[in-house]
């Protein structure tokens, strides 16, 4: 014979108040039979089945809450890393710019308005076809004026505060996958003016 229990006992087993049990009966979640006024008989098996469903649901909710908390933690960590990356990039850029404008002091004897002449100590490679006479490789030009090659390369590729030195880019002879940077006489004059403008110290090699 099936075992029946009261609404009060069902509420105790389910861990809810008796009013909730009666609402579930009204909503069809639990079946019950009325025995007297305000007296209900509920199948104990139905109560146990509902209890198991609630436990599974609570476990699922707990798992979802844990997953949401984990996602929020990862989002916070990503935001922190993104901020640190931005600060690192800003710091590196600032150091490069400071280094570019803080070369060892040398007295400038060159006049930006004059076309740089070849020094006896610095002989550039043969001028490629298509470039005007007097064009120079950027490395030879930097050496002639005592500016470190790496510093001048930065002026060409990155610049100082967005201001860059203009050059002519050409495939390297015998190595088409590499690029050479050449300066025409006009670009050489512009490079000297660039150094003057940004306070880069240079000194032309002795003839």
Domain locations in the chain?
4-96, 104-207
What residues are paired with 40 via a beta bridge? 34
**pLDDT bucket at 17, cuts 50 / 70 / 90:** very high
Q: What is the pLDDT of residues 108-166, one digit of tens each?
A: 555 555 555 544 445 556 888 889 999 999 999 999 999 999 999 999 989 998 899 99
What is the four-CA torsion angle of 144, 148, 150, 153, rounded to 10 degrees?
-40
CA 7 to chain centre: 60
CATH number of 4-96: 1.10.1660.10
Residue with tokens 């006479």: 133
> Please, which pLDDT band fits residue 207 given cuts at 50, 70 and 90?
very low
Nearest 10 degrees: Cα torsion 48, 49, 51, 55: 140
5 forms bridges with which residues in the sheet? Answer: 42
**DSSP states along 40-65:** EEEEHHHHHHHHHHHHHHHHHHHHHH
Asked if residues 110 and 145 have their Cβ atoms less than 8 Å apart, the reply is: yes
Cα 81 to chain center, whole Å?
8
* CA separation for the pair 25, 3 (Å, rounded): 17
């Amino acid at each position: 014979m099936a075992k029946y229990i009261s609404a009060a006992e069902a509420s105790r087993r389910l861990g809810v108040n008796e009013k909730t049990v009666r609402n579930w009966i009204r909503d069809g979640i639990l079946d019950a039979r009325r025995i007297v006024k305000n007296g209900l008989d509920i199948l104990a098996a139905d109560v146990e089945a509902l209890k198991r469903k609630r436990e599974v649901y609570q476990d699922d909710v707990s798992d979802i809450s844990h997953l949401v908390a984990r996602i929020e933690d990862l989002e916070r960590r990503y935001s922190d890393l993104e901020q640190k990356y931005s600060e690192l990039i800003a710091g590196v850029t600032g150091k490069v710019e400071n280094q570019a404008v803080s070369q060892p002091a040398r007295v400038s004897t060159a006049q930006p308005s004059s076309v740089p002449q070849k020094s006896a100590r610095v002989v550039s490679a043969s001028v490629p076809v298509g470039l005007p006479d007097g064009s120079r490789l950027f490395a030879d030009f930097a050496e002639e004026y005592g500016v470190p090659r790496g510093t001048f390369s930065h002026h060409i590729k990155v610049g100082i505060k967005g201001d860059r030195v203009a050059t002519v880019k050409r495939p390297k002879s015998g190595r088409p996958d590499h690029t050479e940077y050449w300066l025409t006489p006009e670009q050489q004059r512009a490079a000297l003016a660039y150094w003057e403008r940004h306070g880069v110290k240079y000194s032309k090699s002795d003839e």
